[in-house]
Amino acid sequence: MKYIDEFRDGDVAQTLAAAIRAEADPARSYHFMEFCGGHTHAISRYGVSDLLPANVKMIHGPGCPVCVLPIGRVDQAIRLALEQGVTLCTYGDCLRVPASDGLSLMKAKAKGGDIRMVYSSADAVTLAQKNPDKQVVFFAIGFETTTPPTAVAIKHAAALGLKNFSVLCCHVLTPSAISSILESPEVRQWGTVPLDGFIGPAHVSTIIGSRPYEFFAEEYRKPVVIAGFEPLDVMQAIKMLIRQVNEGRAEVENEFARAVSRDGNLKAQQLVAEVFEMRKHFEWRGLNILPYSALRIRSQFAEFDAEKRFPLGYASVPDHKACECGAILRGVKRPQDCKIFGTVCTPENPVGSCMVSSEGACAAHYTYGRYKDV
Amino acid sequence: MSEVRKGYVRPIDIKHGQVDMAHGSGGRAMAQLIEELFAKYLGNEYLAQGDDGALLPAQGEGRLVMATDSHVVSPLFFPGGDIGCLSVHGTINDVAMMGAKPLWLSAGFILEEGFKLADLARIVQSMAAAAKEAGVPVVTGDTKVVERGKGDGVFITTTGVGVVAPGRELSGRYAKPGDVILVSGTLGDHGMAIMAERESLGFESPIVSDTAALHGLIETMRASGADIHVLRDPTRGGLATTLNEIAKQSGVGMMLQEKDLPVTPAVNAACEFLGLDPLYVANEGKLVAICAEPDAKKLLAAMQGHPLGAAAAIVGRVHEDAHHFVQMTTGFGGKRIVDWLSGEQLPRIC
């Protein structure tokens, strides 16, 4: 595949691995967090860590949309389907996220809920158009990458004058999650999570640009290198991070210049601002309640807001006691440090959200890397 | 003066007609459907017996193999085939993977009220052509009709019977450390053909299902004299799931080489586009063979000499591993597990 195989070339990888070995100072260690689940997946799937020297360690970050979704939000979606009788549309990964009472959207579907997997928010609008007698709700999750398509869907539904389409908006913001990690006592006070820099998001950055990360580099003195989701992108970013650390720099650098600019996609940003506004606070799985960390639908589009259309109170539900997803999402623990990893909690019967999506740290380690644990 | 009227029964209107509940009643309408459609195309000496079951000749030496497979594929027609030929190939392959020569098939149809007879005729003709080409007749069958909305057009269950010559022993339990793993051709063609059709993806170069009966290829492989330990067709769950099954059954580990896996550029690109992995996508005309190391090259040459094995390749090796992991050296140079399929990647693929 042209323009893809080039970024997965094994020979180039070996050359880059040698360059990283040469760059890394054997007298110290390096700890970098890859923020995105897309990077976590690439690292595990291509075996990138096998090509890194032992003193360069990767820490999985919270950037997996399904993983940070708290139980209370999935409960809301399930209640919409089972109690309000709506047709609930969502992206495939959401279906298996564990919720209260041993349910998930997939199990709610088996109980008779009309729950559909869609590939795009536009499919949900089409479904509403085709079924005027059914209330169709799009369960919208994800970081800044998936937010503009939801905005488009709402504007499209408004233009069509649809009375049976609404959105349960659970869109969250990347910079809030990064600040939460940098402000956490493990990083800031105790130093139990050594963190020398970030691999910055790929797709999110195509929308928001590289500018939002400049604050982190300046304020917290942590280098950020924005990288694409191909394995060579990740390795190149690691090399750039090592160099910044060695030279005592903390800057935002852009390895993914083929898709990301400093300002990002202004049209998409404008569209998002037109349809959404900040929530004062939002609960994340693992990171608790973060101020100004998520979006809600503006009042002028209120008729498309499922939280306003249906009686949906929000109740926070704690994670399973033994589940370490919270600590794993903050980089405090690794999947294999969790007592129930691979025993009680598996991709077939996930207890925590990190075992659900292929971008989740636990699912990635279980699927691609668990041979290293034995 | 008595006059015997010449018997005349108006033929079924296959061109414009639809399945109705009477076609499953056991009465005259059903008899007519069987005669004018099923028997017309699938007809053979056993089916012509017209009894409750087929009376078949006893087989001398060897042991019998019996396999059954239900087909619920959606859509019913797809590039490279349809549910009819698929239901013949699928069951023949299950019998053949046991090292048996497939002899006979049965076919059970569950039809939905309102299903177009023209479509049913296309499906039965396709089954007939596949059975004829394979030399494995459908010797008995059954038809049931369910109310509209209770089925999805047509579901077909086929059962196959075959005979294994004495001394031939194949099983997923027989992979041994040191053995070599081969596949008979490119991976993921069937699954991606269905997926592209279902989602109306309209790729520029259409992906065609690989559905085919593999007993001829297996005969060629056997004739090479290679010491084959395991044969299996990687259908649902793809190569990854099939190899994990074998690794578990045999109590061994495996190491694949990603760069050696045959995948067409079109399937590769479609998988990339949809976020799928060709290792987990279904095949309907491919097999995995595991053989003793010294015979691997000989077996590969034999496979490549057959039209259905032209793109055959050696893709990995079996080794000792108490954890029965299937692993892979990635094209990138790292290592990873190739795990069982988790969840349902593509529902109703066959």
Query: Where do the domains of chain A lie, and which CATH numbers do they carry?
Result: 10-64+175-254 (3.40.50.11750), 71-171+265-309 (3.40.50.11740), 324-370 (no CATH)
> What are the two backbone dihedrals, phi and then psi, of residue B327, each rounded to the nearest 5 degrees?
-120, 170
DSSP string, B36-102: IIIHHHH--TTGGG-SSS---PPP-SSEEEEEEEEE--SSSEETTEEHHHHHHHHHHHHHHTTTPEE
Of B199, B272, B332, the CB nearest to A47: B332
The answer to whether the CB of B241 falls within 8 A of the CB of B340 is: yes
DSSP character at residue A101:
G
DSSP character at residue A365:
I
pLDDT at A89: 96
Which residue has 């010449």 as its token pair?
B6
Partners of residue B331 in chain A, C-beta under 8 Å: 8, 10
- Pick from A306, A288, A284: which is nearest to A296 by CA? A306
Q: Name the residue type at position B197.
A: E
Contact B347/A at CB under 8 A: no
pLDDT at B345: 66
- Pick from B233, B258, B257: which is nearest to B246 by CA? B233
Apex CA B206: angle with CA B205 and CA B209, to 5°?
140
pLDDT at B344: 66
Cα-trace Rg, chain A = 21
**CA dist., res. A208 & res. A35, Å (int):** 15
DSSP string, B296-341: HHHHHHHHHTSGGGTT-EEEEEEE--TT--EEEE-TTS-EEE-PPP
Partners of residue A14 in chain B, C-beta under 8 Å: 333
Contact B200/A at CB under 8 A: no
Put simply, the answer to whether A14 touches B268 (Cβ < 8 Å) is no
Helices A121-130 + A147-160 axis angle, to 10? 20
Of A50, A367, A371, the CB nearest to B334: A50
| Chain B stretch 220-249, residues whose beta carbon is closer than 8 A to a beta carbon of chain A | none
Contact B126/A at CB under 8 A: no
Locate A143 and state its tokens: 């970081």
Locate B100 and state its tokens: 């048996």
Q: Mean pLDDT of all residues in chain A?
A: 94
Helix, strand or coil for residue B290? strand
The better pLDDT of the pair A1, B126 is held by B126
Put simply, the answer to whether A1 touches B269 (Cβ < 8 Å) is yes
Distance from CA of A59 to the nearest CA of B (A): 18
The answer to whether the CB of A331 falls within 8 A of the CB of A60 is: yes
Put simply, the answer to whether A371 touches B323 (Cβ < 8 Å) is yes
Strand partners for A30: A56
Partners of residue A46 in chain B, C-beta under 8 Å: 330, 332, 334, 336
Put simply, the answer to whether A48 touches B332 (Cβ < 8 Å) is yes
Name the stretches of chain B with pLDDT < 50: none
Q: pLDDT tens digit string along A180-201? A: 999 988 888 888 889 999 999 9
* A–B CB contacts, 8 A cutoff, strictly below: 62
User: What is the pairing mode between strands A252-254 and A224-226?
Assistant: parallel
Put simply, the answer to whether A8 touches B272 (Cβ < 8 Å) is no
Residue A291, pLDDT above cutoff 90:
yes
pLDDT at A359: 84
Nearest chain B residue to A14 by CA: give it.
B333
ipTM over the 0.90 cut-off:
no
User: What is the pairing mode between strands A30-36 and A56-63?
Assistant: parallel
Distance from CA of B335 to the nearest CA of A (A): 5
| Other CB atoms within 10 Å distance of the CB of residue A68 | 30
Q: pLDDT tens digit string along B173-196? A: 999 999 999 999 999 999 999 988
| Other CB atoms within 10 Å distance of the CB of residue B189 | 27
pLDDT at B1: 53
Contact B140/A at CB under 8 A: no
The answer to whether the CB of B297 falls within 8 A of the CB of B225 is: no
